Structure 1
Amino acid sequence: MNLIYHIVPAADWQKQAGASTYEAPSLQTEGFIHLSTKEQVAGTLSRYYQDVPDLLLLHVDTGKLTSELKFELATNNEAFPHLYGPLNKEAVVHIETL
């Protein structure tokens, strides 16, 4: 099982609790959902979520994804996973409270 991770405020995740998929705000504004590899999670947290309370870390099995996954270079020349469509919740194998 290959895992990637998505950081989400608990309130955002809970707003879509009844749906079979999750759509992060970035899907509308940027066209994809931001994800991270295990090695990238700590850096993503410190850069973008330092002052955000009540976060969840979604553990996502790449083999179960139904939307297209691409690894693309960010501004720091590091390849990050981007999901081009909704995140189907069957692919979320664990939810960790941060």
Structure 2
Amino acid sequence: MCGRDEWPPQDVYRPESLHVEGFVHCSDFGTVHLPANLLFSGRTDLVLLVIDPARLDAPVRWERPVVGPPDGPWFPHVYGPINKDAVVDVVDFPPGPDGIFALPAALANP
């Protein structure tokens, strides 16, 4: 996920985490609400980048989260920039009326 003004990038998507931590934080459909609620509370400008891992130019590794319980779900981390042709859809990701993020219905029931 990223801010609406961050997509599309000029060439490839390079969020700050790539420079700071060496990878891009990602989620699957079942866990995307967890980092959204933890890190992006109050934001109304988010979009979800739906990525086809087979199209990525960079490797993906499923790893423990950087923050959270050690027995919690693992997350996909992309070890390089995200090439634009790997993004197969961009979906608005506003919080609900209560401010809580949940998977958009368009992705929950494709």
Structure 2 letter corresponding to 1:66: D
Structure richer in helix, relative to its length: 1
- Specify the alignment match of 1:73 in structure 2: 64
Structure richer in strand, relative to its length: 1
TM-score (norm 2): 0.75
Which runs of no fewer than 5 residues in structure 2 stay unpaired? 94-110
- Specify the alignment match of 1:3 in structure 2: none
Which runs of no fewer than 5 residues in structure 1 stay unpaired? 1-6
TM-superposed deviation, 1:93: 0.3
Structure 1 letter corresponding to 2:28: T
Q: Deviations over 1:38-72 (max 9, x none)?
A: 11011121111112231110000011111010001
- Specify the alignment match of 2:102 in structure 1: none
Structure 2 letter corresponding to 1:70: R
User: Greater Rg, structure 1 or structure 2?
Assistant: 2
Which consecutive segments of 4 or more residues in structure 1 shift more than 4 A?
none
- Specify the alignment match of 1:8 in structure 2: 2
- Specify the alignment match of 2:79 in structure 1: 84
Structure 2 letter corresponding to 1:84: Y
- Specify the alignment match of 1:45 in structure 2: 36
TM-score (norm 1): 0.84
TM-superposed deviation, 1:9: 0.7
TM-superposed deviation, 1:12: 2.1
Say what the alpha-carbon RMSD is for the aligned residues: 1.2
| Corresponding residue pairs, total | 89
Give the % identical residues: 31
